[in-house]
Chain A
Amino acid sequence: MEELDVEPAVTLIPGVDSNRKQMCFDWGPGEMLVCETLFPKGFISGREEKGLGCPNIFIVRKDQDVYSQTLRKLFNESHGIFVGLQKSEEELAGKSKKAQLVLVSKNYRSVIRACMEEMHQLAISTRDPELQCQHSTQVCILSAMELIWNLCEIIFVEIAPAGHLLLYLLDWVRLHVCDVDSMVREVLNSENPSKHKDFWNAVDIFVLQGRMDEARHLLSKEASANPTSMGMCRILDDLMKKMPVLSIGSTQTLTEMELKWQHWHEECQQYLQDGTFASNPHMESICKILLGDENAILEKRELMTTWYHFLVTRLLYSHPTVKPVELRFYAQSSLDLFLEGESSPEPLDSILMAAFEFEIHQVIKECRKCSIALSNWWFVAHLTDLLDHCKLLQSHNLYFGSNMREFLLLEYASGLFSHRCLWQLGVDYFDYCPEYGKVYLELHIERIPLNTEQKALKVLRICEQRQMHEQVRSICKIMAMKAVRNNRLGSALSWSIRAKDAAFATLISDRFLKDYCERGSFSDLDLIDNLGPSMLLSDRLTFLGKYREFHRLYGEKRFSEAAKLLLMLMTARIAPCSFWMTLLIDALPLLEQKEVIFSAEQTYELMRCLEDLTAGKTDNQKFQGDDIETTKVDILRLALARNLARAIVKEGTLEGS
């Protein structure tokens, strides 16, 4: 068992005084049932607990996010991306695979951003302060998630080589420190930009983020406003312009770039040493920053706000061709320098540090630990899956056998199943968990509440597509049972046909036959008359259909056909033994007709059936049976004898005339 890194959170159950009463609980698929319980007095140190306790049963759910309206969009869209990724897995190979994976990662990120936007809109438009707080927290969580994901994309998915690495990191930093734009806009919109209090801050931040063109643009405003510093501005502008930058797609090699950069660095050094910028402390500090002076950079701490910004700026101006493996050293030292021992690293910082150190498992572990990962595994599950596709996760088996990716996906999907509508998404996730997915699906799918037939049909379709025959049978049986209880025999039959459940069809037919015996007529004729080939599902059902046909033939006065059918029902053993008496009684009117319907052969058959029926009863039963039974048998014997006589006579005499 992995060690517990944090203390479990305590949830108070309202209405139950946990100091004085005990609680009992039981686990469910996504939730827990809790209620108050009463132990004998002896356990509560002699105090008598009389009076009503809390009469409620509570459902405790850990995962609230599943029920958040805006996050549903996140779950849905990411489901689409996830399934697309799994499907395209087989087709990809080689170089295009990496590009494809980067695209997938970008898709995930854009979904997070969209959700963040919407959540932000909700936060500013709502008037309820509690909701607003909730939404704002969500926005923070989502933005942290996007930050982490972006970094993981750069380091693990893109696997940017030296040179490009810094460019991606710069983009990353620029994307996530957004106050810059508002500040700059304010400065530019003011009357006299260069006199604005934030002017130099704006220039500084541009330089810190490596946005040289924009810095130069601002600087030109200073130059035009302040002619005395024009000379310095021009030199600084020149330096910025000449800064060697490796662009993606350029054919420059790393060594070339390094040489140029060295050269440029020396030039800046020269200017600084000459005291060119001595009269303007702002420009001097900018020059120092360009030289990669850590102290100068650290002075702008408030502008950078985070240690990873510091890290990137530092790398930009001292080691632009940093290699991925070297990141960890710079990261650690940047963190230490930035925090200066004043504050301790936050959970987010540990995650980012783990990423810089290339410790994937550590990243995932840290994400799971801290609350910014959302209470429902969405983040870790999808991120781990993506990294798994990049073939970066070793098959690091957890103690119960499945690997990390599968474990996280299973947990996430299980969480989805507790929701009324999102369970359909969960099905796809289980499909892509090779080891335990099927088992989990089988267990969860049987527990989806089937309040309408339409939902049952959807569940059945899913089961049939996956060859889960047990579940199909079980669900059909549940629905059929419900139908029978509600007296919807037609529905029950259609469910048993779907499941090819002969036993249930027999049960339904017995119901019909019982109704007939009680009432003397059939209910639901529209069903029985139109059984069609489904009649063959069960013997009893066949009997029912044929029996009804007999009645119809009789009603249409097609007596000889009716007679033949009746006899066939008994001799072919289609009719259940309990029904033979009824069939024989039904034969009575045919026997008593003026014309002879049953031939001698047929009459012998009928007599044999009667004898079989009565022979089966013991002597005791014969005497216990009410007079009606014996009377019936007597009447039948008489009728059969009479018919036999007439038939023999008829067959004996009538020869062609």
Chain B
Amino acid sequence: MTKISSSSVCGVALSSLELAAFGDENKISIWSVGDFGNVGTSGEYQGEPQLLCDIRHHGDVMDMQFFDQERIVVASSTGSVTIFRHHQNNQTLSINQRWERAHYHVDPDIPFCGGASCTGVICNNPEIVTVGEDGRINLFRADHKEAVRTIENADSSTLHAVTFLRTTEILTVNSIGQLKIWDFRQQRNEPSQIFSLTGDRIPLHCVDRHPNQQHIVATGGQDGMLSIWDVRQGSMPVSLLNAHEAEMWEVHFHPSNPDHLFTCSEDGSLWHWDTSTDVSEKPSFFHQGGRSITVLSHTANQSVISAWLNNNPTKDRMEITNLVPNQTLSVNSLDVLGPCLVCGTDSEAIYVNRHLFS
């Protein structure tokens, strides 16, 4: 893990061009995190991550994501949503578009005093969905000045995170522990389904969907618990895993290796959950008759049941490793793409790992 110093980073994003964007309490910066293929005489030479450019930003960065190869969407604590464009030729950042009052409380005419923090943003080119502390869901389209659709008062509590379930459906989690599905095709402003845990209404802070199997959803809560849900059936999670000791801020399935899940938390750890198994190597006595299949194989013909849906994934070869030991303050945000993982922490450091699977 390479460590870079910065200020308290609350939002990180990775792009396919081996660029990482970091957002902290007053600026966005873009770093290049790829390997520089300078092969020396003794082998590979890997450069340090380089700061390419940065730009001021109003308010704390709450969440960010790469919209496409050049543009980044940033959610701010002032309630505005901004698209920044990264100009690769001269390595500068500029504001491409901004929705100033995406999220606000009650009276929209009072500047800033009425602003509500925008807590989550998700993009699916050309659409952007944002949620905030005002319980509002906005659907934006790049280059459209106004929101395409706004669901007012979608939730009476704060919406903490949002992700796409299908192209027209989104999932949101809120601070009274509910997971809701919203369908944009429907005109009414009601969720099409509501899921919640029994027991205390522990706020949920993050949500992510399995990249290939769209019915598998993972959420993380304030008590650090990781829940795996199957949205096709039931209103209860399939498995509950006692993970962190404090709020779990972000959960991400690896986009191309979905056997791997990453979670980061206020307790200062970043866990790598690895349920991948290599069938050919394991001796046959591991496959006991009568138990559900726990192996994700890569043969296209076989129908597979994901390891995540197994009732007790910890019984099977799930490996969990903490990728940032010795960390005292919270890990606020993480992003993963290919072999590269970045995370931002409160101790004013960013960690970059370019060789996740080696």
Which residues on A are within 8 Å of B, measured CB to CB? Answer: 69, 72-73, 76, 79-80, 83, 420-421, 424, 428, 451-454, 457-458, 461, 486-491, 493-494, 497, 523-524, 526-527, 530-534
Given A76-B349, A488-B156, A531-B201, output 7 extra A-B contacts at Cβ < 8 Å. Answer: A76-B347, A428-B328, A453-B158, A457-B247, A461-B246, A486-B106, A488-B158
Contact yes or no, A452 B175, CB < 8 A: no
Proximity string of chain B (219-231) to chain A, C-beta cutoff 8 Å, 1 when within and 0 when not: 0001000000000
Known pairs A73-B5, A530-B176, A532-B196; A493 contacts B106 (CB<8 A) = no
B318-351 residues with Cβ-Cβ distance < 8 A to A are: 328-330, 346-349
Nearest to B135 among chain A residues (CB) is A488
B183 contacts A by Cβ under 8 Å: no
Nearest to B249 among chain A residues (CB) is A454
Within 8 Å CB of A461, what residues of B?
246-247, 266
* A-B interface, 9 closest residue pairs, ranked by CB to CB distance from nearest: A490-B157, A490-B156, A524-B156, A486-B105, A421-B8, A494-B175, A491-B157, A452-B117, A76-B348
Which residues on B are within 8 Å of A, measured CB to CB? Answer: 5, 7-8, 10, 24-25, 60, 62, 77, 105-106, 116-117, 119, 133-135, 153, 155-158, 174-176, 178, 180, 191, 194, 196, 198-201, 203, 222, 246-247, 266, 328-330, 346-349
B104 to A: closest C-beta gap in Å: 9
Nearest to A114 among chain B residues (CB) is B5
Within 8 Å CB of A458, what residues of B?
266, 330, 346
Contact yes or no, B7 A72, CB < 8 A: yes
Known pairs A72-B7, A497-B201; A526 contacts B155 (CB<8 A) = yes
Contact yes or no, A491 B156, CB < 8 A: yes
Q: Indicate which residue in A76, A457, A530 contacts B178 across the interface (CB closer than 8 Å).
A: A530
Interface centre among B105, B134, B176, B194, by most chain A C-beta atoms within 10 angstroms, is: B176
Interface centre among A80, A454, A523, by most chain B C-beta atoms within 10 angstroms, is: A454
Complex Cα distance, B7 from A492, in Å, reads 31
Contact yes or no, B62 A497, CB < 8 A: no
Contact yes or no, B348 A72, CB < 8 A: yes
Within 8 Å CB of A493, what residues of B?
157, 176
Complex Cα distance, B77 from A420, in Å, reads 14
Contact yes or no, B347 A80, CB < 8 A: yes
Within 8 Å CB of B203, what residues of A?
494
Complex Cα distance, B117 from A457, in Å, reads 14
Within 8 Å CB of A524, what residues of B?
153, 156
Within 8 Å CB of A488, what residues of B?
105, 133-135, 156-158
Complex Cα distance, B77 from A19, in Å, reads 43
B108 to A: closest C-beta gap in Å: 12
Complex Cα distance, B177 from A532, in Å, reads 11
A69 to B: closest C-beta gap in Å: 8
B12 to A: closest C-beta gap in Å: 15
Within 8 Å CB of B25, what residues of A?
420-421
| Interchain Cβ contacts under 8 Å between A and B, 30 examples | A72-B7, A72-B348, A73-B5, A76-B348, A76-B349, A79-B347, A80-B328, A420-B25, A421-B24, A421-B25, A424-B346, A424-B347, A451-B60, A451-B117, A452-B60, A454-B119, A457-B266, A461-B246, A488-B134, A490-B156, A490-B157, A490-B175, A493-B176, A494-B203, A497-B200, A524-B153, A527-B156, A530-B178, A532-B198, A534-B201
B139 to A: closest C-beta gap in Å: 20
Within 8 Å CB of B174, what residues of A?
490
Within 8 Å CB of B117, what residues of A?
451-454
Complex Cα distance, B191 from A526, in Å, reads 9
Nearest to B10 among chain A residues (CB) is A454
Complex Cα distance, B62 from A461, in Å, reads 19
Within 8 Å CB of A531, what residues of B?
201
Within 8 Å CB of A487, what residues of B?
105-106
Within 8 Å CB of B133, what residues of A?
452-453, 488, 491
A405 to B: closest C-beta gap in Å: 21
Complex Cα distance, B203 from A461, in Å, reads 14
A293 to B: closest C-beta gap in Å: 50
Complex Cα distance, B326 from A79, in Å, reads 13
Nearest to A70 among chain B residues (CB) is B5
Within 8 Å CB of B60, what residues of A?
451-452
Nearest to A76 among chain B residues (CB) is B348
Interface centre among A452, A453, A461, by most chain B C-beta atoms within 10 angstroms, is: A452
Complex Cα distance, B136 from A486, in Å, reads 13
Within 8 Å CB of A428, what residues of B?
328
Complex Cα distance, B329 from A79, in Å, reads 11
Known pairs A421-B25, A461-B266, A494-B201; A526 contacts B7 (CB<8 A) = no
Complex Cα distance, B6 from A76, in Å, reads 10
Within 8 Å CB of A424, what residues of B?
329, 346-347
Interface centre among A73, A424, A453, A487, by most chain B C-beta atoms within 10 angstroms, is: A453
B40 to A: closest C-beta gap in Å: 25
Complex Cα distance, B135 from A110, in Å, reads 48
Contact yes or no, B348 A490, CB < 8 A: no
Complex Cα distance, B153 from A491, in Å, reads 12
Contact yes or no, A421 B348, CB < 8 A: yes
Contact yes or no, B10 A486, CB < 8 A: no
Q: Indicate which residue in B62, B346, B347 contacts A452 across the interface (CB closer than 8 Å).
A: B62
Within 8 Å CB of B8, what residues of A?
421
A426 to B: closest C-beta gap in Å: 12
A523 to B: closest C-beta gap in Å: 7
Within 8 Å CB of A72, what residues of B?
7, 348
Contact yes or no, B156 A526, CB < 8 A: yes
Nearest to B78 among chain A residues (CB) is A451
Within 8 Å CB of B198, what residues of A?
532
A158 to B: closest C-beta gap in Å: 26
B175 to A: closest C-beta gap in Å: 4
Contact yes or no, B194 A83, CB < 8 A: no
Q: Indicate which residue in A80, A420, A532 contacts B201 across the interface (CB closer than 8 Å).
A: A532
Within 8 Å CB of A79, what residues of B?
328, 347
